[in-house]
Amino acid sequence: MELNIVLIEPQIPQNTGNIARTCAVTGARLHIVKPMGFQIDDKKLKHAGLDYWHYLDITYYDGLDDFFERNKDGEFFYFTTKGRNTYCDAEYKDKTYIVFGREDKGLPEELLFHNKQHCVRIPMGSNMRSLNLSNSVAIGAYEVLRQWGFPELQNYGSLTKYDWSKAE
């Protein structure tokens, strides 16, 4: 199964670093559509997740046209506060792309308008600002992975000082 996380013109390096870390630990592919509001070597980006950069499958694009020209297969879901369906209502299949917009503007409304059935939202209180981008990506990614049964992910943990098998 292939999960693709797409960031359209990310502006805040810490968010992109956190999202890169989410991609690294889940095995998701990261797609970044330029222009970005920072440089990849930004100190804040390094602090937030650049130490995971070598684990990433990452591709950069010179705009939306370039992205869609190079990614014609798969199914696209657009995460937006303007969506009419919730992210849990969607059925995610192999080669899913979950697409997120700029922190300050979201996704272009023309893109949303032409993809109504694939626009999904994360429920939240009315008259509130949207969730942080990196939190939204994590919510979306883990819903896709939950539906797929968390393929190839370790779903158990162990204690460092104790043995779970000896707990009552």
Give the HSE-up count for residue 65: Cα atoms under 13 Å, Cβ half-sphere.
Answer: 0
Give the HSE-up count for residue 92: Cα atoms under 13 Å, Cβ half-sphere.
Answer: 29
Give, in order, the Cα–Cα distances in Å from 103 to each of 9, 69, 129. Answer: 9, 24, 11
136 marked ligand binding residue: no
Tokens of 33: 């559509």
Kindly report whether the peptide bond that precedes residue 10 is cis, defined as omega within 30 degrees of 0: no
Which residue bears the tokens 């199964």?
1
The single-letter DSSP state of residue 154 is: -
101 marked ligand binding residue: yes
Q: Which amino acid is at 142?
A: Y
122 marked ligand binding residue: yes
Is residue 65 a contact partner of residue 44, using CB atoms and an 8 Å limit?
no
Q: List, as residue ranges, the binding site.
A: 101, 122, 130
Q: List, as residue ranges, the binding site for S-adenosyl-L-methionine.
A: 101, 122, 130
